[in-house]
Amino acid sequence: MEYISKWEDENGKIFEEAFKAKNNPVMDSLDEVDNDVLKEKRKVVTQFVKDFPHSARSVMAIIDNYSYYAEAPDVKPLYSLLDNNLKNSSKGQDIKKMIEVYETVALGKKAPDFTQVSPEGGMLSLSSLRGKYVLVDFWASWCGPCRRENPNVVKTYSQFKGKGFEIFGVSYDTKKDRWEKAIKDDGLGWIHVSDLKGWKNATSELYGIKAIPSNLLLDKEGNIIAKNLFGKKLSDKLSELFP
């Protein structure tokens, strides 16, 4: 992985400079580079698992590289290659559970409902937004990439909020004051909820969220129609839905 890690670090430095300069076209292009880096990592992991199906390191490589921004068809073939003893190990069972969660929240599936608390103290359910296209946005005040993405989401929300589009922000914060300050500072004028349990937020297990920012776009019936739309991809997708 060494050469990929170097590539990833270099890309991160360039992204930081582009962010400081508010160079959105460059940031969008670097998001694509991040996708290429992830694909390259997973090529290495796939070959490693094929070469060493009896190694516990194969299990850890799958967990390390497929527990975020992945789908069941990405993970199933690798799990099937593992030695039966590894499949039945505790970490092997973690991979099996990962696959089951990914299948539950696959494209076309109904998004599992959940209820959490708003900053004002009210209980709000995802299902209460049926009848609108909804972006379920997983983020946190302490998450640098989330905060960098927020201006793009704000711009897109202002463009589409009057057309039947809403955002359901789910925070992985633990401190209410920091959560509320980030909402105010970043101008996030949509619906917000949290259980203030950080990475132990109930949606982490329910949706398999192990990296943020993450998001899902739901249709009016609550079905998942897209995932992880960042940068220009979000506005492009909404432009298709609201021509």
Cite the residue boundaries of each domain of the chain with CATH code 3.40.30.10: 115-241
User: Which pLDDT value is given to residue 32?
Assistant: 83
User: Which pLDDT value is given to residue 214?
Assistant: 98
As given in the structure block, the two tokens for residue 11 are 């890309």
Contact status, residue 149 vs residue 228, Cβ threshold 8 Å:
no
Provide the pairing of β-strand 123-125 with 115-117.
antiparallel
As given in the structure block, the two tokens for residue 211 are 């990296």
- Weakly modelled stretches of the chain, pLDDT under 70: none
With a threshold of 0.85, does the pTM exceed it? yes
User: Which pLDDT value is given to residue 130?
Assistant: 97
User: Which pLDDT value is given to residue 34?
Assistant: 86
User: Which pLDDT value is given to residue 33?
Assistant: 86
121: left (phi over 0), alpha (psi -120 to 50) or beta: left
The fold for domain 115-241 equals Glutaredoxin (3.40.30)
User: Which pLDDT value is given to residue 200?
Assistant: 98
Tell me the C-alpha distance between 140 and 181, whole Å: 11
